[in-house]
C-alpha cells in the first residue's frame, strides 16, 4: 500500500521547509548484515530522490560502541529492543515525529504493546522485524553423527557434552551475542532468562564452560554461509539467518537438508527497532525511510528476502506462501506461548555478562 499523493507532497514540502540541500539529501543507514530486501533501497531512492549510504554490522555491541562515540554519523540504526531501551535512557535517540509516520497504522498493535516494555509510549523506536533464537541444523550430518533416535527439538543437543562433542567434527557455531546466549543458558537451567542475579550468570557460565571445547566458532553473520556451504553442521542462530542459509544451499544445488528448530521448552524472542540517533545528520529523511519501510509491499519484500517476520499486518498478505506457512519463521500460537522476550538489564549485569563472555571465548 503506497502512501497517498497528499502525504508524499506534505513530506516533500516539509523537507523543503527544513532547507534540505543537495548535499544533505543523503541518508546514512546502519543495519544488520543480510537484512534488507532486494528493492528496498532503490525504491526509496526512486520515491524520494534521496541517496542512501548503507553500512552493516553483525552484533548489537558493535552498534552500541559506534553510537556511544556520539559522532556515529548515521540517520537510521536498527538496535534490538532490549539494547534500544538502555540506549534511549542514555539519551542517544531522537523522539519520533509520528505526524511524519502515517504508516505506523500498519503495525501489529499486540507487538507494539510488547515492545513498549522497552520503549514506553513507543517514543523512540519502530519495529523493523522480529525473530527467535534456535538451532540451525544440517540434518544429514547431524543425524549421521548423533543417530536418528536423538531428539533434535531440545536444548539438550547443545548443553549435553556427550551430544555436542559428536558434532564438533562437522562444525559447531555459537552466536557471538552474550545477551542471547546467557538468556538461552539461564532458560535451560530453569532460571529467569532475564535474571538480575549475578549468581545465576555464574551458574550459566559454568554450564557454558562444559561445552566450550566443542564450539568451533563464535559468529553472528558468517555462519549463514558456513551452514549453507556445509562448513558447519550445527548453529545456535537466529531464525531468519537459518532461512537464508537454507535457501542459499538449495540455490547452490546442495543435497543436504538445512532445518531450523525452536526447542520445545522455549526460546528467546526479540524485535529489531528502527531508531534515529540524536546526532543524525538528516532526521527528516530518516522519518521518510521509516515510513517507506512501513509500506506493506516494502515490508513484505524484506521478509521475502531475509526470512524475518514483518510486524506489518497488511504486509503479511504479500509474504510468499512458503515463508508465511513456515512454522520456524512464523511460529504457531502454541509455540509463541513458550517464547520469552529479552528485556533490558542493569548495567552491572551487562558488565558481568561481557566479562564472562570474554573469558568463555578466550578460555581464560
Sign of the torsion formed by the C-alpha atoms of 149, 203, 212 and 352: positive
Burial annotation 261-281 (CB, 10 A radius, 16+ → b, else e): bbbeebbbbbbbbbbbbebbe
pLDDT digits (tens, 9 = 90+) for 321-359: 999 999 999 999 999 999 999 999 999 999 999 999 999
What pLDDT is attached to residue 68?
Answer: 87
What are the sequence ranges of the domains in the chain? Answer: 26-130+270-330, 132-268+344-362
| Domain 26-130+270-330 matches domain 132-268+344-362 at the CATH topology level | yes
Name 172's bridge partners: 234
pLDDT at 72: 83
Of the CA atoms within 13 Å of residue 288, those in its CB half-sphere come to 28
Could you give the CA distance from residue 21 to residue 7 in angstroms, rounded to a whole number? 21
- The pair phi, psi for residue 218, each rounded to 5°, is -110, 120
- What are 172's three cell numbers? 559447531
DSSP 85-152: HHHHHTT-BPPP-GGG-GGGGGB-HHHHHHHTTTSGGG-S-EEEEEEEEEEEEEHHHHHHHH-TTS-S
Q: What's residue 271's pLDDT?
A: 96
Q: pTM of the prediction? A: 0.86
Residues of the chain falling short of pLDDT 50: 1-23
Residue 71 has a pLDDT of 79
CATH 3.90.1150.10 for the 132-268+344-362 domain, yes or no: no
**What CATH number was assigned to the domain covering residues 26-130+270-330?**
3.40.190.10
pLDDT attached to residue 311: 96
pLDDT of residue 363: 83
| Whole-number pLDDT of residue 117 | 87
**Cα separation, 115 vs 275, whole angstroms:** 13
Amino acid at each position: 500500500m503506497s502512501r497517498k499523493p497528499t502525504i508524499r507532497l506534505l513530506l516533500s514540502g516539509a523537507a523543503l521547509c527544513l532547507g534540505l540541500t543537495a548535499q544533505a539529501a543523503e541518508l546514512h543507514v546502519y543495519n544488520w548484515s543480510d537484512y534488507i530486501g532486494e528493492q528496498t533501497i532503490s525504491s526509496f531512492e526512486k520515491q524520494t530522490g534521496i541517496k542512501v549510504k548503507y553500512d552493516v554490522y553483525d552484533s548489537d555491541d558493535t552498534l552500541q560502541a559506534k553510537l556511544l562515540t556520539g559522532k556515529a554519523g548515521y540517520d537510521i540504526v536498527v538496535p534490538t529492543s532490549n539494547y534500544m531501551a538502555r540506549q534511549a535512557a542514555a539519551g542517544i535517540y531522537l523522539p519520533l515525529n509520528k505526524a511524519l509516520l502515517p504508516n505506523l497504522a500498519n503495525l501489529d498493535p499486540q507487538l507494539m504493546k510488547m515492545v513498549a516494555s522497552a520503549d514506553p509510549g513507543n517514543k523512540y523506536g519502530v519495529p523493523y522485524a522480529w525473530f527467535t533464537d534456535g538451532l540451525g541444523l544440517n540434518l544429514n550430518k547431524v543425524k549421521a553423527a548423533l543417530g536418528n533416535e536423538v531428539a533434535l527439538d531440545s536444548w539438550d543437543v547443545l548443553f549435553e557434552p556427550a551430544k555436542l562433542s559428536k558434532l564438533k567434527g562437522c562444525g559447531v557455531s555459537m552466536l557471538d551475542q552474550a545477551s542471547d546466549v546467557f538468556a538461552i543458558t539461564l532458560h535451560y537451567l530453569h532460571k529467569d532468562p532475564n535474571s538480575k542475579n549475578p549468581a545465576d550468570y555464574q551458574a550459566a557460565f559454568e554450564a557454558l564452560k562444559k561445552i566450550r571445547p566443542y564450539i568451533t566458532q563464535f559468529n553472528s553473520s558468517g555462519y549463514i554461509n558456513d551452514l549453507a556451504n556445509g562448513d558447519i553442521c550445527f548453529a545456535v542462530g537466529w531464525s531468519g539467518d537459518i532461512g537464508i542459509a537454507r535457501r542459499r544451499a538449495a540455490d547452490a544445488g546442495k543435497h543436504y537438508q538445512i532445518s531450523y528448530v525452536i526447542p520445545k521448552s522455549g526460546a528467546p524472542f526479540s524485535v529489531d527497532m528502527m531508531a534515529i540517533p540524536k546526532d543524525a545528520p538528516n532526521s527528516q529523511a530518516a522519518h521518510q525511510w521509516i515510513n517507506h519501510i512501513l509500506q506493506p509491499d516494502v515490508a513484505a519484500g524484506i521478509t521475502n528476502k531475509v526470512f524475518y517476520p514483518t510486524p506489518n499486518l497488511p504486509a503479511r498478505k504479500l509474504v510468499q506462501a512458503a515463508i508465511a506457512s513456515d512454522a520456524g519463521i512464523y511460529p504457531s500460537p502454541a509455540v509463541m506461548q513458550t517464547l520469552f522476550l529479552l528485556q533490558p538489564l542493569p548495567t552491572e549485569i551487562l558488565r558481568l555478562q561481557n566479562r564472562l563472555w570474554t573469558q568463555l571465548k578466550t578460555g581464560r
